[in-house]
Chains A and B, each alone.
Chain A
């Protein structure tokens, strides 16, 4: 099973130009079973307090091979600055930090399932966690829901600093403090530490979750850009599996690749 997962990761996660990927706003879901069409069209479930239940698990909802196409833009529409376009075109897929099990980060939600864990505490909904089946390559992400602001001086990290709030039924996640090491997609679309993202997650019916995604990064883009991704609900009896990317990761050796280490 472990080997199978690794193989499917290589096939799904790393292959460029997946032919089946014609629909904008979607990424291949691989073998992940989805809810039936009848279940998907059911109404949005709600928590006892009336808030929309975003739990999932979901598959999709972000970029994978090409953020421009998957986010709903036409080729060339992504407003990359010339240096950033040049950098993207010079990047080789096999050098992506993810190939050596480093985090994919936002909005790179690959063909693996993930879910929102909305916390149930004596202080109400204090955090929302995003749990990724990716396991050790960035297993969880935290969104502070307690009304705090971003710190003034954030140490750049793979996942940045995320604060969230509900606007009606939409969960809005605002993130700054990213490092510039992860790629938006296996094509190599870059960003800088000036990156600021806004995700607007809206569950439109039981089976569908829309991510209206804003990239604001004056370091790499000539203007803020608006993208749209759609996640689908995983079949109800399916839970996140364990995936340990680093266990016997033969990527570099087996492929003859020596990925560029971001820290070098």
Chain B
């Protein structure tokens, strides 16, 4: 029978906290960029202009058709080369954080774009007609009338996607970035207490996601009410 020994956790808390900070950082940046860039992609996909529609559709379909873990790895392998060549970043700079942020932000944008596109389509066409009839340009109508209603309708879905993203950030372990999961793994490996540390990390992910899901349920009730 395996004997649990949790004694290495209290001493490791500062390391784990630093890891959690990386996890939150990647999550927040990916959500913020994902929603902003995803909105642009969604509007482009719904545009009457083919030259906007096609590249946006290609982007979204490409990123939705490849595994996230591969995107993270590609960015890690390719981005540093590009940065070094074009920006003259020295090879000593830790490029893992930058490439992880870029990979998550660009990958999640594709998923956010689909959620936001559905949200825009959930706003009745009469609303757009009314905004245009008042003399608003299509861009003003989108910004002032359609998008505010679309975001209100899709807020629960956006947050659900953020929870999935929060869990998916653990995939940065493939490039050796010490996020919360990576930090837990390292401490466990060092102290020979991998089972305890990974269980503990799982519990933290579980509780955080559970709390966020409860928030989403409350929001959903308010939105549908």
A binds B: no
> A residues bordering B, Cβ < 8 Å?
none
> B residues bordering A, Cβ < 8 Å?
none
